[in-house]
Structure 1
Amino acid sequence: MSAPDLKRAAAARAVTLVEDGMRLGIGTGSTAAAFVALLGERVRAGLDVVGVPTSEATRVACEREGIRLATLEEMPELDLTIDGADEVDGDLRLIKGGGAALLREKIVAVASARMVVIADASKRVETLGAFPLPVEVNLFGIGATTRAVEKALAEASCTGEVVRRHDVSGRPVLTDGGHAILDLRLGRIPDPEALSARLWAVPGVVEHGLFLGIADAAILAEAAGDEAVVSVLGRL
């Protein structure tokens, strides 16, 4: 069974959580895209929901599927956010931001009564950090900010390198908000809460990809022969 099949299986379970009249936060990334496609099918069948997208790419996908959208200014309180994750541990701590939408994703998630993560089971880890931790930073003073982030890593007992993210053509990646992304290649993060606090203390850091105490549950799909088996971490 392929990774896209597993992502679709997790997304299919998440779609069953959506009820008529809900205000939804809609995430970014390949697994979230599978959710958008399945949600679009339900909307065309008569489901009435309003979504807040976490990126311009998600907005375009939702519009293509006919999903009604609003902004957080128009609808500041949401019932449920469904989003993917790059890593999730047993305490539902996440690394997110592989799609460079971490700031908007965190704003939307925190505005929601519940956040449910969808992913294939390979994203479940014992210790966060194998996936590079994204940090969104202001372009002004990025050199100084990078050095301050490196110092913060040392203070949080993390080792690794800090690399500015570039796209496949070699151009620096910019977020929808016009910020740069630093990827922290750490291997492991022994104390995510300590690292979060250190990063927040750095001027120039706009947001980081540690989502701590935000997710309520994770829907994880793994292959069992030709079938997808879906399990739930936390409470839906």
Structure 2
Amino acid sequence: MDSRTLQKKLVGYEAAKRIKDGQVVGLGTGTTVRYFIEKLGEKIKERELDILGIPTSYQSFLLAKNCGIPLTTLEEHDVDIAIDGADEVDKKLNLIKGKGGAHTQEKIVDYSAKKFIVIVDESKIVDELGKSPVPVEVIPSSLRMVCENIKKLGGKPSLRFYKYTPWISDNGNFIIDVKFDSIGDPSRLEKELNNIPGVVENGIFSKNVDEVLVGTKNGIKVLK
């Protein structure tokens, strides 16, 4: 197992320690969160804990079921704590998420949680957001107009493809990956993107992060 994978496993297992009996847990999406979900399933089985999960994607839904985590929905329960990954984290705990195309449901669950913890390996920490493109979920019929408006904001949009067809989100929409030269004000850009008609949600998360657990070569670093 390489160093980066070990870091992901380390923070995933550490996050599972933060979950208490009786909690409703938002289950994020991604390679790092996979270790968290697997460990949480073990914890529930070994200690017979009363924990419910709310998945943020079909990927996390299927994984959680395979790990024996009882599932529920936002219609039935509030979220006590959400555990999710990120593609980038800056020093003010702003995030870029959505490499897996699940950022809309992730934001719904993560922003509604009483506590939101992000788990990443150290390669995801940046001085300023923008190294990674910003994923934007778009209603298909609005694609051209959305791209034109994104260009006015200084972005360079590119329709995401899976092999030879457009990537379709769990919600049945297109994903645009938008490159910005710099993102000096993540909160403002998050709002500006969402104000474009046809945009469902974008992958900038500029609020509600309580804590970031960072896996490093020397152990776990906590950012608050």
Under a length normalisation based on structure 1, what TM-score does the superposition of the two structures give? 0.91
Identify the residue that residue 49 of structure 2 maps to in structure 1.
47
Distance in 1 between residues matched to 2:54 and 2:15, nearest whole Å: 16
Pairing of 1:115-134 with structure 2 (within 5 A): 115-134=116-135
Tell me whether 195-204 or 58-67 shows the greater mean CA deviation: 195-204
Residue from 157, 165, 172 that aligns with 2:166? 172
Q: Is residue 2:222 matched to residue 1:232?
A: yes
Q: Aligned AA for 1:121?
A: E
Q: Is residue 2:31 matched to residue 1:30?
A: yes
Q: Is residue 2:175 matched to residue 1:184?
A: no
Distance in 2 between residues matched to 1:187 and 1:68, nearest whole Å: 43
Q: Aligned AA for 1:67?
A: I
Identify the residue that residue 94 of structure 2 maps to in structure 1.
93
**1:178 Cα shift?**
0.6
Report the secondary structure of 2:108's partner residue.
helix
Distance in 1 between residues matched to 2:3 and 2:120, nearest whole Å: 13
Q: What is the CA deviation profile of residues 121-165 of structure 1, one whole-angstrom value per residue up to 9, with x for unaligned ones?
A: 1111110010111011111121111111111x23xxxxx521011
**1:99 Cα shift?**
0.7
Tell me whether 90-99 or 140-149 shows the greater mean CA deviation: 140-149
**Which ranges of structure 1 fall in alignment gaps of 5 or more residues?**
155-159
**1:47 Cα shift?**
2.2
**1:117 Cα shift?**
0.1
Contact between 2:138 and 2:175, CA under 8 Å: does it hold in 1? yes
Contact between 2:90 and 2:127, CA under 8 Å: does it hold in 1? yes
Contact between 2:29 and 2:57, CA under 8 Å: does it hold in 1? yes
**Which ranges of structure 2 fall in alignment gaps of 5 or more residues?**
none
Identify the residue that residue 209 of structure 1 maps to in structure 2.
203
Distance in 1 between residues matched to 2:3 and 2:161, nearest whole Å: 27
Q: Aligned AA for 1:166?
A: F
Contact between 1:131 and 1:187, CA under 8 Å: does it hold in 2? no
Contact between 2:146 and 2:197, CA under 8 Å: does it hold in 1? yes
Identify the residue that residue 161 of structure 1 maps to in structure 2.
156
Q: What is the CA deviation profile of residues 90-132 of structure 1, one whole-angstrom value per residue up to 9, with x for unaligned ones?
A: 1111001111000000000122101000000111111001011
Distance in 1 between residues matched to 2:136 and 2:188, nearest whole Å: 15
Identify the residue that residue 112 of structure 1 maps to in structure 2.
113
Under a length normalisation based on structure 2, what TM-score does the superposition of the two structures give? 0.96
Distance in 1 between residues matched to 2:93 and 2:185, nearest whole Å: 14
Residue from 46, 58, 61 that aligns with 1:59? 61
Q: Aligned AA for 2:220?
A: V
Q: Is residue 2:212 matched to residue 1:218?
A: yes
**Count of equivalent residues:** 222
- RMSD over aligned Cα atoms: 1.1
Contact between 2:190 and 2:205, CA under 8 Å: does it hold in 1? no
Return structure 1 stretches of 4+ with deviation > 2 angstroms.
none
**1:188 Cα shift?**
2.5
Pairing of 1:67-86 with structure 2 (within 5 A): 67-75=69-77, 77-86=78-87
